[in-house]
């Protein structure tokens, strides 16, 4: 057997395609494409799910009938703008869904007509060719280079390079192999090399791509608890305004009888408030703005996740992300770069650094881990130990039981590994570890490094210092989390000394060292018992219990099927730091919903004070003092308010789709900002908008 020194411990990653959608939020072409969907949503069987807009649609039908019976320019103008209000509300949702359909079209391209070679259960050496949709859970298929993987499953035999760009947008191929945490494959991806045997894990029509298409199109979106609660609140406000408006009719009839000298108008006559005006008043006073945009806000929130290559299995998960108060983050690959690299050889007294480097390199020649390759390269670069061939060596692989690896060659026995394991091996061989080895190990651990002790039978040579570098900018990100009121906990299998050093450097609030699956699960339950929502990432089968227990469980796409089934989100890029972005998107969703609700209710207050004084000033001259906008006439005030009510929905669609800009801050500051910007703005904007529309209406014949 011959083994060669590797020239480089790492290869540069292939560039990644940007998977995010571009284009404007209100592209006219997109609006036109969404218009047929908006019109189809006028079906009462669809509209009743949105109580506020369903009331508006009923009002539009009623005013249409009144306009037919008693036609006038004013009546038909009100009818037209009430119908536009309903259409604009549907258009907001249709545009949000349309953005998802554009992504779904790309995903459908991955679901091409595919056949599969299914192994026969009774004769595993033979197979039959079937259509991919016919595959059932438990079927075993063979996929070779150049073929499309017919369905979601786990690799049970072989190793292959797989192109997942159709699903993840990642141009670089990935390795999928049997066993371990990189065995899951997705239907629609392509095998580039070698041959794998896959066991199908999904039933027909329930594949990963099928579920993703349904979710991004919005057809499978369930309303979240907060959204349902807000719908109930809006329905209650609608009922209150309905009752309040209904009382105006008897009040107006009584007032006309007491003041018969007041002339009839399009707003008031002997029968009180006219039907068209009554409906207009109801539509302007109920919270139509947030009622129209609420669904679009939820769809857009999930869409923003999909743009970042994260699939949320439910809207509840997105919403929960916004309320998360504890983040559990793996150290390796999330907080640190992940590949620990040899940074220093520290010999014990009586041993030269070159002697230690030679033994460390010798014990690592067959070690294909990033750490092992870095030791070989570091010894070559630091001490000029060049490539060489080794013949007749007996390599000792690393195991979880022995916690060390090495080589037996020409009577030499060299080992490297965990300090306790290597020193026990030395003592068992009759040697005596030097007194200073413990100080060297503790010093490296305390600095955040990982110590690997190197020994030759009977004596310890020294320690290899492996460094795991904290990613740039992580401390700033954790500072942001802290300002948001989120507690960050680093999870690692390292010893407590190493864990503490990395935690201090990264700036996390707490850490869990030497973590087992049971430890993770216990930590999550402890946090949840205190009333906190917990988010975590994971990719292995051993992470599945914790992912299932957490409120937001983000599984890596490269992970096992068990992990992806247990989580309620899947990160297609398999980037654990994405969890921080997910939390920010969830908070942005909640803030956007709250901001537009504040704006909508403030709008209603402003419209109330704009319309009522103009309508009843003739009956009650004292109300004229409240007519601060000096609207020209009752009918002009009503029509201007109805037009503004419709146009403000269109104006706010970009904000609903893009989301209110989120800045890490405390809940009290966010509330104050929302009340100042959207509360005050919701009061001021209608006064300005209605007045401008009123001035424009005066230019029309018959309105002066």
Residue 574 annotated as part of some ligand binding site: no
User: Would you say 644 is a known binding-site residue?
Assistant: no
Is 410 known to be catalytic?
no
- Classify residue 624 by its DSSP letter: G
171 is in an annotated binding site: no
CA 406 vs CA 212, 280, 366, 388, 416: distances in Å: 47, 84, 8, 17, 6
Q: 3-state class of 241 per DSSP?
A: helix
Catalytic residue among 152, 210, 303, 330: 330
Q: Could you tell me whether strands 487-491 and 510-512 are parallel, antiparallel, or unpaired per DSSP bridges?
A: parallel
Pairing, β 326-330 against β 534-538: parallel
Q: Which residues contact 157 (CB under 8 A, 6 or more apart)?
A: 178, 196, 197
Residue 453 parent element (H or E): strand 450-456
Whether residue 208 is annotated as binding a ligand: the answer is: no
CA distance 666 to 364: 50
SS3 content of the chain, % helix, strand, coil (to 5): 50, 15, 35
CA separation, residue 682 to residues 89, 259, 290, 604 (Å) = 18, 36, 12, 8
Structure tokens at 607: 């419209």
Q: Is 70 annotated as a binding residue?
A: no
Residue 400 is assigned to a ligand binding site: yes
Inter-helix orientation angle 315-322/225-246, to 10°: 90
- Residue 402 annotated as part of some ligand binding site: yes
Distance CA 205, CA 133 (A): 7
Token pair for residue 379? 């010894």
Joined together, the tokens standing for residue 135 give: 């595959």
Question: Is residue 405 marked as binding?
Answer: yes
Is 367 labeled as ligand-binding?
Answer: yes
C-alpha distances in Å from residue 535, one per residue of 33, 402, 558: 38, 34, 19
Residue 563 annotated as binding site: no
Residue 442 annotated as lining a ligand binding site: no
State yes or no: 539 annotated in a binding site.
yes
- Is the distance from CB of 470 to CB of 505 less than 8 angstroms? yes
Q: Is residue 556 marked as binding? A: no
DSSP-assigned beta bridge partners for residue 131: 115
Binding residues: 367, 371, 398-405, 416, 539, 543
Positions annotated as catalytic residues are 330
Which residues define the annotated binding site for ATP?
367, 371, 398-405, 416
């Amino acid at each position: 057997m011959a083994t060669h020194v590797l020239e480089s411990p790492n290869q540069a990653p292939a560039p990644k395609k940007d998977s995010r959608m571009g284009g404007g939020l209100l592209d006219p072409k997109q609006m036109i494409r969404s218009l047929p969907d908006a019109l189809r949503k006028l079906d009462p069987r669809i509209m009743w799910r949105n109580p506020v807009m369903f009331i508006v649609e009923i009002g539009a039908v009623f005013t249409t009938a009144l306009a037919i019976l008693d036609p006038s320019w004013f009546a038909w103008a009100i009818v037209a703008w009430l119908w536009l209000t309903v259409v604009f509300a549907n258009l907001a949702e249709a545009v949000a869904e349309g953005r998802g359909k554009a992504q779904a079209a790309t995903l459908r391209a991955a679901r091409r007509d595919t056949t599969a070679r299914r192994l026969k259960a009774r004769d595993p050496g033979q197979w039959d060719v079937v259509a991919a949709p016919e595959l059932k859970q438990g079927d075993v298929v063979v996929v070779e280079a150049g073929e499309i993987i017919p369905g979601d499953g786990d690799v049970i035999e072989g190793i292959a390079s797989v192109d997942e760009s159709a699903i993840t947008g990642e141009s670089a191929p990935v390795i999928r192999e049997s066993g371990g945490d990189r065995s899951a494959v997705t239907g629609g991806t392509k095998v580039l090399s070698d041959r794998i045997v896959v066991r199908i894990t999904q039933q027909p029509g329930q594949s990963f791509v099928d579920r993703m298409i349904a979710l991004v199109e919005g057809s499978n979106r369930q309303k979240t608890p907060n959204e349902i609660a807000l719908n109930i609140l809006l329905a209650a406000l609608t009922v209150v305004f309905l009752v309040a408006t209904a009382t105006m009719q008897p009040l107006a009839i009584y007032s006309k009888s007491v003041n018969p000298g007041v002339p009839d108008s399009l707003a008031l006559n002997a029968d009180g408030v006219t039907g068209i005006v009554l409906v207009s008043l109801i539509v302007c006073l109920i919270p139509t703005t947030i009622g129209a945009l609420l669904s679009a806000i939820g769809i857009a929130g999930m869409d923003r996740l999909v743009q970042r290559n994260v699939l949320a299995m439910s809207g509840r998960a997105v919403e929960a992300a916004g309320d998360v108060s504890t983040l559990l983050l793996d150290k390796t690959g999330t907080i640190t770069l992940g590949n620990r690299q040899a940074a220093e050889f520290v010999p014990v007294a009586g041993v030269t650094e070159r002697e230690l480097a030679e033994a460390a390199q010798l014990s690592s020649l067959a070690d294909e881990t990033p750490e092992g390759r870095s030791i070989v390269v570091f010894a070559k670069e630091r001490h000029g130990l060049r490539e060489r061939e080794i013949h007749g060596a007996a390599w000792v692989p690393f195991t979880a039981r022995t916690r060390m690896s090495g080589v037996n060659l020409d009577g030499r026995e060299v080992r490297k590994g965990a300090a306790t394991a290597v020193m026990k091996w030395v003592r068992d061989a009759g040697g005596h570890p030097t007194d200073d080895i413990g100080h060297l190990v503790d010093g490296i651990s305390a600095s955040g490094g990982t110590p690997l002790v190197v020994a030759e039978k009977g004596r310890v040579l020294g320690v290899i210092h492996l460094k795991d570098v904290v990613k740039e900018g992580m401390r700033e990100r954790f500072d942001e989390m802290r300002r948001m009121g989120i507690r960050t906990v680093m999870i690692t299998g390292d010893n407590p000394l190493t864990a503490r050093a990395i935690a201090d450097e990264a700036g996390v609030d707490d850490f869990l060292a030497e973590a087992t699956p049971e430890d993770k699960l216990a930590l999550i339950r402890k946090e949840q018992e205190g009333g906190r929502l917990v988010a975590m990432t994971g990719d292995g089968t051993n992470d599945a219990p914790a992912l299932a227990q957490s409120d937001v469980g983000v599984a890596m796409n490269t992970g096992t099927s068990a992990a992806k089934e247990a989580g309620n989100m899947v990160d297609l890029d398999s980037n654990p730091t994405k969890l921080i972005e997910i939390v920010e998107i969830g908070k942005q969703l909640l803030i956007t919903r709250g901001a537009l609700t504040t704006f909508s209710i403030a709008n209603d207050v402003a419209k109330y004070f704009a319309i009522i004084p103009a309508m009843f000033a003739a009956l009650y001259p004292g109300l004229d003092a409240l007519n601060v906008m000096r609207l020209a006439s009752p009918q002009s005030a009503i029509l201007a308010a109805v037009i503004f009510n419709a146009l403000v929905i269109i104006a706010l669609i970009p904000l609903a789709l893009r989301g209110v800009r989120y800045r890490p801050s405390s809940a009290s500051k966010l509330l104050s900002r929302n009340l100042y910007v959207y509360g005050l703005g919701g009061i001021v904007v209608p006064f300005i908008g209605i007045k401008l529309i009123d001035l424009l209406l005066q230019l029309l014949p018959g309105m002066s």
